[in-house]
Structures are given as C-alpha cells and as structure tokens.
Chains A and B, each alone.
Chain A
Amino acid sequence: MMIESQGKTTEPQAAGVVLSEKARTLPSGEREFMMDVRTADLEVNMGPQHPATHGVMRILIRTDGELITGAQPHLGYLHRCAEKIGENVEWLQYLPYTDRYDYLAAMNNNLGYSMAVEAMLGEEIPRRAQMLRTICAELNRIGSHLIAFGTYGLDLGAITPFLYAFREREWMMALFEKICGARLTYSYLRIGGVFNDTPPGWLGEVEHFCDVFEEKHKEYVDLLMMNHIFVKRTADIGVIPAEMALDFGLTGPMIRGSGIDFDLRRDTPYMLYGELADAGAFDVILGSGAKGALGDCWDRFYVRVMEMIESVKIIRWCLGSIEPGPVIAPLPKVLKVPAGEAYVGIENPRGELGHFVVSDGGKVARRVRVRGPSFCNLAVLEAIMPGTLLADAVAIVGSTDVVIGETDR
C-alpha cells in the first residue's frame, strides 16, 4: 500500500483528511490501493470571545495540528471613536475619555493627555501636584502590572496567583477611591495639576501599602515567576530579538524584555522623572535571557514583575520629599489653548503612550491623536507566533499584555 502525501494546502475551509481510493492490480495478482491523504491546515478564530485574548480581540490562527503556521490579529471590536470625540468636546471634558482607553492605567492616560495640553499652555505645574501625579502614576503602574502578572498566570493555567494579585490591586484601588472617589476611571490628574489634595493620612497609607507590597512581591516571584512549570512554559517561547523589537517599534516592557535599554521616564525626562533618575531613585529593568533566549516571554514577564519594585522605590522617594503646597495651577474654568501643536510621549505600563494634540486657539481641540502602546506592540504577534504551539499562542498573547480598549480606542 502506498500513501502519497500531496503536502499541505492552504485552503481555509478544508479540514481533516480526505481519502480517495485508487486501486490497481499488480503483476502478482495482488491489489494495490493508492490513497491520497490530503491534509489541510485548520483555521480557527481565537476570539473575539476567548478567555485568553484579554478582551474582544480576534486572532485568526492557522494550525497544523497544534502547530501554528500563521497568525493574524484582527482589531476593532471595541472601537469607540475616542480620537474623534476629542475634536468635539472641550479640553477638560476629554479627560474622562482618556481613562477609558487603557482602563488598567487610567492615571497614566490622564497624565499623558494633560501633559500634552500643558505643553501648549506653558503653565507651571505646582511641585506638590507633580509629586502626587508621580505617586499616582506609579501606583497605577503597580496595579496594571499586577493585572499583567495575574492574568498571565491565568493564561498558563495557574489561577491562584491571579487572586493574590487582585488582593493587592484591591488595596491600590481603595487608595485611589479615597483620593478621587473612583476605582477604575479616575480622571484625578487634571490639566494643570491634580483634582484635589490628598485626604488626611493618605500618604501614610500609601507608605504602608509599599511596605506590605514589598513583602507580597516576594510571594509572586516564588509562586509564579520562578515556578519550574512556568519557566518551562515561557522560556524560549515567543522570542523577540533586539533587532526585531526595534523594527516593530516596540516600547515598554516589550522592548526592555529584549534587552534594549529604553525607558521614556529616564530617556526623555518629564515631570519629576529626570530628578528621580539623577537621584538614582529607580533602575530600568532589562530582560537578561536568564531562563532562555533573550527576549522570550519569561524576560518580558520578569521585566513587569521587577518593575513593580522600581515603582515602589519611586513612590518612596516622592513620599520622602513631598511638601505642602498648591495642587493645581490656576487655570480658567473654560480653557482656551493657544494655537499650536504638541506631542508628549510618556511611559505607560505598556510602553510609550503618545498624545499629539493640535489646537486652533479655541475651546475644542482640532485634533487629538493617540499613539497607543498596546496597538503598536500587538503587531509583533504576526511575526513571532508562527512555529509555536497553540498553548504557546496563549503565552505569547499574554506576554504582550495588551489592553484591547487601548488598541481600538
């Protein structure tokens, strides 16, 4: 019996094995059957409703058994015209919309937009406001990385670390609730400063949080990051070499995981970060390829987990030098921004969050353009997913730590 393989076809609809029989009689009188075993790749939509796509993202995966031969992310399921809205509402009114694109790091989004507008206003921001902004942004970075940590464990089947991460995140959200009344979409950082001063004792609570968090952080490292199965699942998976990371314009933990020393907080110092970097208050965490090739999923995860400790350091520095004073620059209620344009990129938990704002001197922006880090980081999926297994696809998508609200805006 001969089995003849015709190789793989790329017809998306054909799946399974098609048998067609041809028989012939051999000189010996025996019958020989010839079969065409035709195999085809299986195309499967991972999403839009899938537990591992972290929202409504669809990845069109082509698989040969469990092996992925092609992957293509499809976006747009959560598009809410955020940028267009920016051209229709007043400067300050747009601020709550920024909360909603990267809902896990709303403080950072507020910061990015406020700074872009402030760049055109040329207003001096009070020092206490800058301190509070830094504290909130870094607290929110911790909260966002906690989600990245927890959901990554969830993607890989470890459910418990997720709940541990939420235990601390809950506390962080309670702190934000005290300072601004909201738990997810804060709009606390305003154009010109912050919304109001801290309630009494709040800074002490933040300090307490930092103390406890440093203890709990060790738990995360032991429980998940150094877990043997976890390392086996993430090391050498989804490797992004440094060159590829640059080619795709990755930012944030994605590029630092590939060993490229790039952190906007230090490289384009804004607010207090220049001062912080000079004081050596924080280090930039880089992937080292400790468990596998440089730039694998484990390195990206490592960067996120260890960055949380750096954020704690920044918060501690701010808490140590914060002084009383005004928290918002005196600006008119109805803001008119002088004509011009400004681009400000800040280091969001996911990478460079850029706001390009154009004003024609009126109450409403002429154009608000957002450079979302998740959106830009997502493009690399197509390049690194082929050749991995289906289970690795989940690990890779998780390691990009996308927030779909921000890719689609």
Chain B
Amino acid sequence: MQHGNLVHELLSGVAPEAVPEWATILVTAVIGVSVLVGLVSVLAMFSVWLERKVSGHIQCRYGPMYVGGWHGWAQSLADGVKLLMKEDMIPLGADRVLFVLAPALVLGSIFGAMAAMPLAPGFYFADINLGVFFILGMSALTTIGVIMSGWASNSKWSLYGAMREAAQVVAYEIPLGISLLAPLMVAGTFNLLEASEAQSGWFGMKWFVFQNPFLIPAAVLFFVAALAETKRAPFDLPEAESELVAGFMTEYSGIRWSFFFMEEYAAMFLMSIVGAVFFFGGFESPFTSLAEWAFVAESGADGVVTEAAGIFELPLLYHVTAGTVLAAKALFGVFLMMWVRWTLPRVRIDQVMTMGYKYLTPLALVVVLATGFWELILS
C-alpha cells in the first residue's frame, strides 16, 4: 500500500518515538500483501462462480444452485475446501522441485503483477511509474511457470501443453504490447493512475477510444491478444482439454491445480483492468463525474480534484464510486471473455501463430503509426 505514512501515523500515535522506519515498512508490506492475497483469492473464487453461472445460462441450464443457498454462491468456497483436502500427489517420474515450484511461480507472478493494479484513485498497492510495463512483465512470467510445469510433469501431454504455451506466448506478447502502445502514446504515461486521470473530462466520457479513432481497432487487438495471454478460449491451446487431456495441468491435482486456475482468473481480471484503464476511461464515467462534482460543490473548491490526492483527502463516496466503476468495467471485460469462451470453437496452434505473426502484429504496428500521426496532427 502506498500509504506508508498512514501506517506510520497510526503507529506513532501509539508510541511516537518508538517506531523505527523499518517497522513502518514491514507493517505496510504485511498489510499490503495480506490485502492483495485476500483480494485475489476472493476475486478468483467469484470469477469461477461467475464463469459457471455465465456458462450455465448460455447453455440453457442454471449452473450451481445449491451450495450456500442463493444461486450456489458458496460453490467456489466448497470447491476450495475440497481441493485443499485432496491428496497431494506428485508423479513418480516428475522433477519434484520444478513440479512444486511451477504453480507457486505462476501464482506469485500474477500476485506481483496485481500489485500495480489500482483499486481506487487513491487506493493502490504500488504506484509504479512504469505500471503497465510492470504488469505485462510480471504476467509474462507466468509463462515460465507453465512451461516449467509442463516439463516437470514428465508427461507427454503436459509437454505438448508447455510447447504450445511457449509457441503461443511469442506470437501474442508482441501484439499485446504493441496494441497497448497506442493508448500509451495518447496518455503519455505508463502509470495507470495518470492514464486514468488523462481521461477525465467530457462529463466522464473522455475515454481514449473516443479521443482517437485508431484506438478502437487497438482495443480489439488488445482484447484478442489478452485472450491468448490469459490462455482463454479460443486460444486455450496449452490446456485444450479435448486434445491434450488437460495440457500442462494434466498431472496436477488438488490445491496445486487450483493455483493454475486462480492464476487464470486473476489474469483475466488484471488484463480487463489494463484494458479498462487504457481504453475505456479507467475510473472515469458519468457516475464518477457526478461524485466528483458533488464533492467540489460541497467543499467549494474550484480546482479539479487530483486523483493522486490520497484516500483521506477526498470524500469516500468519490473513491467508492471510482473503484466500483473500474471494477464494473473490468468485470464486464471478464464477462466478455467468458462469453467468447462458451461460444467459439478452439483454433489450431498454427492458426494462432499465423494470426499472431501475420495479422495481429502488423495491424498493431499500423494502428500505432496511425495513432501517432493523428496525435501529431491534432496537437
């Protein structure tokens, strides 16, 4: 959490002189990590439940209905308990160290990436200058974990999954990064908070996609590449349950298996957040503007509210509204990904590569070029 000073104030309120600097940092880190881990776990569980409900309703059924009462809301919780109690199995021929390390690396890197994710204008874990760069870098690290798991499992199906992941990641990381360059040029910053702030105005509708016509194809490219990045259908080739049994996860079971699952849903959410921030206004929406306006009217301040002002310097209403707006946008992105998954057949590995190399990458480059010219001419 960024508010080390807050923790420091709290601690020094108890005993002003007895609080050394390192204690503040330590307590901040512990609080931040616990909040992050809790948040990601709850998010993943909610997404799993959502996926089951969405798929159910798409397929003329209800999905979970019993556990917990209302629409089976506790289904994921029950599944989590079940997975925890399962036998911890490592295949005999497996590389034990890598086998154990792989899910940890996968989950750890997505946790790391999530640290740069803003929750509300003044509420985030790390305000990193190169925020989106950090997120992409950390989430690309999950690939290493996936390849590790595929190799360590000592199973041919897992190996196929790992091979596919390795092939796919090269084809998709490039267009993913390039398609993000376009909004980055418009925003002029890598920082997610500043990017969101750059879209304030027009009563909360000054989103990047409305600012520059070339950002609409960029958003589509980003969505397609993000699907592949998060290993979601129709690009779920590393898993490909009808072809490779379960791909790189074939030999995993129990809680280790669920780590891969959690990573997938966390990555979906993270990519949706990045997309929401860099294409669809971030925190900005008419609701956010209303909340902001209410605050300005109340306080009589004439300046624009700065989003980096900190959580306790703005009314809670504004922060809650902004956070909810971003979460809603991200969840809509997650829903879109689910919708696509339950509608389309899977593409083949050579088609993925053809698409990535021959179409998406050049297209993304063209879009970046066009965006650049547009910005140059307008400014």
Interface residues of A (CB under 8 A from B): 15, 42, 44, 50-52, 65-66, 153-160, 163-164, 167, 223-224, 227, 229-230, 232-233, 389-394
A232-B347, A390-B160, A391-B349 known; A157 vs B234 contact (CB < 8 Å): yes
Choose from B159, B164, B242 the contact partner of A394 (Cβ within 8 Å).
B242
- Interface members, chain B 158-216 (any A CB < 8 Å): 159-160, 163-164
Pairwise interchain contact A389-B349, C-beta atoms closer than 8 A: yes
Residue B157 at the chain A interface, CB threshold 8 Å: yes
When distances are taken between beta carbons in the complex, the residues of chain B under 8 Å from A224 are 345
Provide the bound-state CA to CA distance between A163 and B243, in Å: 19
Further contacts, 18 of them, CB under 8 A, given A157-B233, A393-B243: A50-B245, A52-B243, A66-B163, A66-B349, A154-B242, A156-B242, A157-B240, A158-B345, A159-B59, A160-B55, A160-B343, A163-B60, A224-B345, A229-B344, A229-B346, A229-B347, A389-B348, A392-B348
When distances are taken between beta carbons in the complex, the residues of chain A under 8 Å from B9 are none
When distances are taken between beta carbons in the complex, the residues of chain A under 8 Å from B233 are 157
When distances are taken between beta carbons in the complex, the residues of chain A under 8 Å from B243 are 52, 390-391, 393-394
Interface of B, secondary structure class, is loop
The 9 A-B residue pairs whose C-beta atoms are closest, nearest first, are A157-B346, A158-B345, A163-B59, A156-B345, A44-B156, A391-B348, A229-B345, A52-B242, A230-B345
Q: Which chain A residue shows the least CB distance to B246?
A: A51
Pairwise interchain contact A44-B345, C-beta atoms closer than 8 A: no
Pairwise interchain contact A66-B245, C-beta atoms closer than 8 A: no
When distances are taken between beta carbons in the complex, the residues of chain B under 8 Å from A394 are 242-243
When distances are taken between beta carbons in the complex, the residues of chain A under 8 Å from B244 are 390
Pairwise interchain contact A232-B245, C-beta atoms closer than 8 A: no
Taking the nearest CB of chain A, how far is it from the CB of B198, in angstroms?
A: 37
Residue B350 at the chain A interface, CB threshold 8 Å: yes
Residue B261 at the chain A interface, CB threshold 8 Å: no
Interface of A, secondary structure class, is helix
Pairwise interchain contact A155-B61, C-beta atoms closer than 8 A: no
Q: Which chain B residue shows the least CB distance to A153?
A: B345
When distances are taken between beta carbons in the complex, the residues of chain B under 8 Å from A389 are 348-350
Taking the nearest CB of chain B, how far is it from the CB of A147, in angstroms?
A: 15
Taking the nearest CB of chain A, how far is it from the CB of B342, in angstroms?
A: 5
Pairwise interchain contact B242-A51, C-beta atoms closer than 8 A: yes
Pairwise interchain contact A164-B156, C-beta atoms closer than 8 A: no
When distances are taken between beta carbons in the complex, the residues of chain A under 8 Å from B61 are 163
Provide the bound-state CA to CA distance between A52 and B242, in Å: 5
Residue B379 at the chain A interface, CB threshold 8 Å: no
A157-B240, A233-B345 known; A164 vs B59 contact (CB < 8 Å): yes
Q: Would you give 12 A-B contacts (Cβ < 8 Å), ordered by A?
A: A51-B242, A156-B345, A157-B346, A158-B345, A160-B55, A160-B59, A163-B61, A229-B345, A232-B347, A233-B348, A391-B237, A392-B348
Provide the bound-state CA to CA distance between A164 and B342, in Å: 12
Residue B251 at the chain A interface, CB threshold 8 Å: no
When distances are taken between beta carbons in the complex, the residues of chain B under 8 Å from A163 are 59-61
When distances are taken between beta carbons in the complex, the residues of chain B under 8 Å from A390 are 160, 243-244
Interface digits, B213-237 against A, CB 8 Å rule (1 contact, 0 not)?
Answer: 0000000000000000000011011
Residue B305 at the chain A interface, CB threshold 8 Å: no
Choose from B159, B160, B351 the contact partner of A232 (Cβ within 8 Å).
B351
When distances are taken between beta carbons in the complex, the residues of chain B under 8 Å from A51 are 241-242, 245
Taking the nearest CB of chain A, how far is it from the CB of B162, in angstroms?
A: 12
Residue B58 at the chain A interface, CB threshold 8 Å: yes
When distances are taken between beta carbons in the complex, the residues of chain A under 8 Å from B245 are 50-51
When distances are taken between beta carbons in the complex, the residues of chain A under 8 Å from B350 are 389
Pairwise interchain contact A158-B344, C-beta atoms closer than 8 A: yes
Provide the bound-state CA to CA distance between A263 and B117, in Å: 62
Provide the bound-state CA to CA distance between A393 and B242, in Å: 11
Taking the nearest CB of chain A, how far is it from the CB of B153, in angstroms?
A: 14
Provide the bound-state CA to CA distance between A6 and B351, in Å: 30
Interface digits, B235-269 against A, CB 8 Å rule (1 contact, 0 not)?
Answer: 01100111111000000000000000000000000
Provide the bound-state CA to CA distance between A154 and B240, in Å: 11
Choose from B55, B58, B345 the contact partner of A157 (Cβ within 8 Å).
B345
Interface digits, B6-35 against A, CB 8 Å rule (1 contact, 0 not)?
Answer: 000000000000000000000000000000
Choose from B59, B157, B344 the contact partner of A44 (Cβ within 8 Å).
B157
Provide the bound-state CA to CA distance between A66 and B164, in Å: 9
A44-B156, A44-B157 known; A159 vs B349 contact (CB < 8 Å): no
Taking the nearest CB of chain A, how far is it from the CB of B238, in angstroms?
A: 12
Provide the bound-state CA to CA distance between A393 and B160, in Å: 14
Taking the nearest CB of chain B, how far is it from the CB of A250, in angstroms?
A: 24
Pairwise interchain contact B58-A160, C-beta atoms closer than 8 A: yes
Taking the nearest CB of chain A, how far is it from the CB of B22, in angstroms?
A: 49
When distances are taken between beta carbons in the complex, the residues of chain A under 8 Å from B349 are 66, 389, 391
